[in-house]
Amino acid sequence: MPTVEEKEREEQIVVFQLAEQNYGVDIAGVYEIIRMENITRVPRAPSFVEGVINLRGRIIPVIDLRKRFEMPAAEHTRSSRIVIVEMGGTTVGMVVDAVLEVLRIPASSIEPPPPVIHGIEAAYLRGIALWDDRLIILLNLERVLYEKEKEALAQIEQTA
Partner 1 sequence: MFSDAELQVFLDELDEKIQVINDNLLILERDPSDANALHEIFRAAHTIKGSAGVMGYEHMASLTHEMENLFDRLRQGTMRLTTEMTDVLFSALDTLKELRDEVTGEGGGADTAPIIDKLRAFLAGEDAFVPQAAAPAVFLALTEAEQEVIQAAAARGINAYHVRVLIDPQCQMKSVRAFLVFNNMERFGEIIKSVPPAEQLQEGLYGEGFEVVLLSGEPGEYIRNMLLTIAEVTDAQVTVLRPEQAETVPAAAQTPGAQKEGQTGVQRAHTAKTVRVDVEKMDNLMNLVGELVIERTRLDRFAALLRAHEGVDDLVDTLGEIANHIGQVTNDLQDQIMKARMLPIAQVFNRFPRLVRDLAHRLGKEIDLIIEGRDTELDRNVIEVIGDPLLHVIRNAVDHGIEPPEERVRLGKPRTGRLHIKAFHQENHIVILVEDDGRGMNPAVLRAKAVERGLLSADAAARMTDREALQLIFLPGFSTASTVSDISGRGVGMDVVKSQVEQINGTLEVASSPGQGTRFTIRLPLTLAIIRALMVMVGEQMYAFPLANVVETMQVRVEDIRRVKQTAVIVVRGSVVPLVRLADLFGLEASGADKLYVVLTGSVSGRVGIAVDELVGEQEIVIKSLGGFLGRIPGISGATILGDGRVALIVDLRALTEEITHRSQMEEAVSLAG
Which residues in 62-121 contact partner 1 (CB under 8 A)?
89-92
> Up-side HSE of residue 121: CA atoms within 13 Å toward CB?
8
- Cα–Cα distance measured from residue 140 to residue 124, given in angstroms and rounded to the nearest whole number: 5
Compute, in degrees rounded to 10, the torsion defined by CA atoms 8, 87, 24, 66: -170
Kindly state whether residue 35 participates in binding partner 1, applying the rule CB under 8 A.
Answer: no
Count residues near partner 1 (CB under 8 A).
Answer: 27
Task: Pick the closer one to partner 1 by CB: 53 or 137.
Answer: 53
Kindly state whether residue 29 participates in binding partner 1, applying the rule CB under 8 A.
Answer: no
**Which amino acid does the sequence have at 21?**
Q
- Cα–Cα distance measured from residue 17 to residue 64, given in angstroms and rounded to the nearest whole number: 13
In terms of DSSP H, where are the helices of the chain?
4-8, 65-68, 141-159
Task: Pick the closer one to partner 1 by CB: 43 or 72.
Answer: 43
User: In 3-state terms, what secondary structure has residue 27?
Assistant: helix
What's the Cα-to-Cα distance from 83 to each of 6, 63, 73, 132, rounded to whole Å? 30, 10, 18, 24
CB of 89 to partner 1, least distance (A): 8
With CB under 8 A as the contact rule, the residue among 1, 35, 41, 119 that binds partner 1 is 41
With CB under 8 A as the contact rule, the residue among 19, 34, 45, 71 that binds partner 1 is 45
Task: Pick the closer one to partner 1 by CB: 33 or 152.
Answer: 152
Residue span 120-159 as binding mask against partner 1, x where in contact by CB under 8 A, dash where not: -------------------------x---x---x--xx--
Q: Which residues bind partner 1 (CB under 8 A)?
A: 38, 40-45, 49, 52-54, 56-61, 89-92, 145, 149, 153, 156-157, 160
